[in-house]
Amino acid sequence: MKKFVVIKEDLKHNIEAIKQYAKTRGKDDNGNELKIIAVVKMNGYGLGIVEYTNFLIDQGIDFFAVATIEEALQLRKAGIKEKILMLSSTAIKEEVEELIDNNIIITIGSKEAAETADEVAGEKGKFIKAHIKVDTGFGRYGFIYTKPEKIVQAIESLRNIEIEGIFTHFSLAFYEKSNYTQIQFDRFIKVIEVLKLNDINIEILHACNSSSFIRFPQMHLNAVRIGSAFTGRLSFKNNLGLKKIGTLESQVCEIKKVPKKFNIGYSNIYTTKRETEIAVIPCGYADGFNIKTGEDTFRGIDKLRRLVGVLKEFLKKEALYVKIEGKKCRVLGKVGTFHLTVDVTGKEIKVGDKVELSVSPKYVNTNIRREYK
């Protein structure tokens, strides 16, 4: 039986560390502390969207953000009544209707999205809340920063919507040597200045995700969106003392001895060098183990690093390991879809022993039970 285990004390530690770091900004002119918007997309970054959101609520978080309508509805159906922001802009009427019916704060990133939302809200006799999305150089949702007058026109045309927030999204905040985040931030501030010149003062301003929240405190404004930082799994070093959250647990399902020069796994890339005792573990890449993603998101230098990593793996200079009853055991051959084989020679391992696998929670199969303890 597989399960993904979340240690509550470790998660609580991360939440508190992030809260304390947020307090270093101090209070704004209105006496308000920095607002934390918890992003719970991708099944709560793999921690189980409902369980994770409820845990965050217990720790005092009261504002959440999702990436899809399905995620928003899942939270509402689970009885979660706190504020939920849909981060993606949409001009599809049926989607806007569903968001409004479930009291989800919508994002408006285009003239068409503004018109659709205003029309639907009017038809339903509701006055709803929304955030404006500004594209400062990500090339996805949002009004283009070079045409702030379009945002002014869209806002001024609204009759059934209160714009309570405005935000942008950084594309390189996790890179150490880049001034592009500062460029995006400056573009965003200029848009806000144009809005103020047109007597449009928006309450909630947010630009920082987890990476920029930690690396660029000068960009905090009055709200930040925190996702991966809560899980302690960031792509850069930090001084917050965050703990990596979550461990995939399974059990040894079979043990046997195989002779010298015996093939292990697909592609025949591994052959035993001696008689070897092996354990079969019912976990594989379909469960999130040894998943490699994002090659298409990196710059040339990052692709080169990835190529070096692949070469090292091919030359067997880097090996994968799991822990069985606390003992480090090497994975042999290629990781399969649902199984992997490990060397347990001389380790006194038996069928049923607990196996711990290090995985990124966001890649763990959603069918695997999440257990908080």
Residues acting as catalytic residues? 41, 266
Tokens coding 26: 């101090």
DSSP string, 37-79: EEE-HHHHHTT-HHHHHHHHHHTT--EEEESSHHHHHHHHHTT
Question: Could you give the angle at the alpha carbon of 195 between the alpha carbons of 165 and 95, nearest 5°?
Answer: 40
Q: What's the rounded Cα separation, in Å, for the pair 313 and 296?
A: 20
Residue 320: closest CA among 351, 292, 361, 294: 292
Q: In what order do the strands lie in the sheet with 354-357?
A: 254-258, 276-281, 340-343, 327-332, 321-324, 354-357, 247-251, 3-6, 369-372
Q: Is 292 helix (H, G, I), strand (E, B) or coil?
A: coil
Residue 61: closest CA among 22, 114, 100: 22
Q: What's the rounded Cα separation, in Å, for the pair 340 and 166?
A: 47
Residue 81, Cβ density class (10 Å: 0-12 exposed, 13-18 middle, ≥19 buried):
exposed
Q: Which residues pair with 206 in a beta bridge?
A: 167, 223
Which residues 6+ apart lie within 8 Å of 304 measured at CB?
none
Q: What's the rounded Cα separation, in Å, for the pair 49 and 56?
A: 10
CB 323, CB 9: distance < 8 Å: no
